[in-house]
Amino acid sequence: MTTRRLLLATTAALFIATPVLAQGLPRAQKPEEVGLSSDKLKRFAARLKEGVDKGEIPGAVAIVVRNGKVAHLEAAGFRDREEKAEMKPDAIFRIASMTKPVVSLAIMMLAEEGRLSIAHPVSNYIPEFAKLQVGVEKKNADGTVELALEPQRRQMTIQDLLRHTSGLTYGVFDKSLVDDEYRKAGVLDRNQTTREFMAKLIYLPLKHQPGTTWEYSVSTDVLGWIVEVVSGKSVDDFIAERITKPLKMPDTGFWVEAKNKGRLAEPQKDAQGQRPVMRDALTKPSWPSGGGGMVSTAADYARFGQFWLNGGQLDGVRLISRKTVELMVADHLPPGTKFNPRVTANPSISTPSPAMGQGFGLGFAVRTDQGRNPMHGSLGEYYWAGATGTNFVIDPKEKMVVVLMMQAPTQGANYRSLMRQFAHEAIAD
C-alpha cells in the first residue's frame, strides 16, 4: 500500500470511529462538508507526528468540530512512550486547569437556581473570609523587607473568584512574601483534604486587594468548596450528577476508574530520564481540586465545547440559559485592572491583558481584540489550557471547537499556538 493510500485509510478509520468516540456528536463525511480543508488538516496531523518523532511530545489527540460536526480526529504517537503504548483517540488525559470551566459552570447553575449570587461576598458562604487581610511588603531602613497586613478595602466576591481578581495566589509563579507563605503552608499539597486546604487558606494573607489585580490563583478551588457548601454534595459528586452525566461525558471526572487504566496517557521522560511529576489519576483523590483535578478525553471535552456553542444546551439537555452563557463569555475585568508582570511576562500564553487583546470571563479567557495577539483566532472566542499540555478554544464566529490533548507540560505554549494556527488556517469558506 502506498503512503498516500495508507494515510487515507488511517484517516477513514478515524472518521468511522468518531460517532462512538465523540459520544454522539455527528460526523462530517469529509471536512469540506463543514467548510474545512482536508489538505490543511493533514498538515495538523503531520505536525503532531513530527513532534512525536522529534521527541517534543509523547503523543497527542486533536479534534476539530465545526457546525456541530466532527471534521477531524487525530491520534498521534504514544499514550505511554516508555511502554511503547500507542496513542488512541479515546485516551484519557489529566486536564489540569481545563477543570476550571467545569467548576465555573457548576457555580452558575447554582446561581440560576437562586442558591447563590456571584455579586455576594465570599464570606456569605465562607464566613472566615471576612477577616482575611492583605499582605503588603514594607521595606525597612536597613534594606530588609517584611510583610505588613492591612484590611480589605472591599470584600472578595464570587465574581472575583470566577475572574481571578480575588487577591488569592497560587504560591508557585512568583517570589513575593505572600507566595512564600503559601509555599510554607503547603497550600497545594495533593494529599490533603478539601477541608484541610480551606483550613490553611483562611489563615493566609491575600496578595492583592480584591478586585484590583488579575492573578492566576486557587480561586477556582475555593469555588469548588462553595459548590459543596451550597449544594450539600462534594464537588466531584455534583459535577458527575449534574454536568458530566447529563452531557454524556462518561470519561470526565476526578480520577480514572480501574477498568480504564490502560487508556491513561502519561508524560515522557526528560533528558535526565525523569518523567514530569503528575498527580496519581488512578486513585480517588482526598482533595478533588476544583482548579485542576479532573481528567477527560478529547471527545468528551469537544462535547463540552459544543454545549457552550449551543448556548448552554446539548442534545436536548439544558444546564444554563443562553443569557448566562453570554454573561460568562463576556470580559469581566474592570478598567484599570493590574497585572503582575512577574506572572504575565510571557505573551505567548493565554494570560489576559488588554495589551494582548485578551480579557477574562467567568471561568476562561476571552478575546477582546482581533489584533495584538500573535495567535490565530476570532473576536469573541473563549479558551483556556492546562499545565499538563491540554488546550481548547471555542470560536462562536466560526462555529468551531478545537481541543488538543497532550501530557507534555513544557510544550503547552508552543502547541497551543500550533493548534490554533492549523485549525483556523483550515477554514475554507
Domain CATH code at residue 210: 3.40.710.10
Q: Are residues 362 and 296 in the same domain?
A: yes
User: Is the pLDDT assigned to residue 69 strictly greater than 70?
Assistant: yes
Regarding whether 85 and 42 lie in a shared domain, the answer is yes
User: Which tens digits make up the pLDDT trace of 138-197?
Assistant: 998 888 899 999 999 999 999 999 999 999 999 998 889 999 999 999 999 999 999 999
The secondary structure of 31-60 as a DSSP string is GGGGTB-HHHHHHHHHHHHHHHHHTS-SEE
Handedness of CA 17, 22, 23, 26 (dihedral sign): negative
Q: Among 174, 204, 231, which residue terminates a domain?
A: 231
Q: Same domain, yes or no, for 249 and 342?
A: yes
State the Cα angle at 377 between 374 and 382, rounded to 5°: 115
Q: What is the pLDDT of residue 4?
A: 41
**Cell 494570560, located at residue:** 351
User: Within this chain, do residues 54 and 164 fall inside the same structural domain, yes or no?
Assistant: no
Query: How many Å apart are CA 149 and CA 130, to the nearest integer?
Result: 14
- 66 vs 13: CA distance, rounded Å: 20
Q: What is the pLDDT of residues 198-229, one digit of tens each?
A: 999 999 999 999 999 999 999 999 999 999 99
Q: Are 285 and 408 in a shared domain? A: yes
Is there a contact between 337 and 165 (Cβ–Cβ < 8 Å)? yes
pLDDT recorded at residue 250: 97
Contact 133, 78 (CB under 8 A): no
CA-to-CA distance for 111 and 118, rounded, in angstroms?
Answer: 7
Q: Are residues 156 and 34 in the same domain?
A: no
> What's the pLDDT tens digit per position in 272-292?
888 998 999 999 999 999 999
Please say whether the beta carbons of 81 and 108 come within 8 A.
no
Q: Are 221 and 292 part of one and the same domain? A: no
Pair 196, 295 in one domain: no
| Predicted TM-score of the model (pTM) | 0.93
Q: Are residues 63 and 143 in the same domain?
A: no
Whether 343 shows a pLDDT value over 70: the answer reads no
DSSP state of 89: T
Does the pLDDT of residue 121 top 70, yes or no? yes
- The pLDDT of residue 14 is 42
Evaluate whether residue 274 is within a structural domain. yes
Domain boundary at 186, 206, 231, which?
231
What is the band of 350 on the pLDDT scale with cuts at 50, 70, 90?
low
Say if residue 415 is in the same domain as residue 383: yes
Q: Across the chain, what does the average pLDDT equal?
A: 92
Calculate the CA 115 to chain-centre distance: 25
Distance CA 167, CA 149 (A): 13
**pLDDT, mean of residues 398-423:** 95
Model confidence at 354, in pLDDT bands (50, 70, 90)? confident
Domain tally for the chain?
A: 2
Domain that holds residue 193: 106-231
Residue 3 lies in a domain: no
Q: Do residues 280 and 246 lie in contact, with contact meaning Cβ atoms separated by under 8 Å?
A: no
Element at 95 (helix H, strand E): strand 93-96
Do 227 and 319 belong together in one domain?
Answer: no
Of all residues in the chain, the percent with pLDDT exceeding 70 is: 92
Which range among 332-341, 396-405, 414-423 shows the weakest confidence by mean pLDDT? Answer: 332-341
pLDDT band at 342 (very low <50, low <70, confident <90, very high): low
If asked whether residues 186 and 293 sit together in one domain, one would say no
Give per-residue pLDDT as tens, 4-56.
Answer: 443 344 433 343 334 444 456 999 999 999 999 999 999 999 999 999 999 99
Residue 99 is assigned to a structural domain of this protein = no
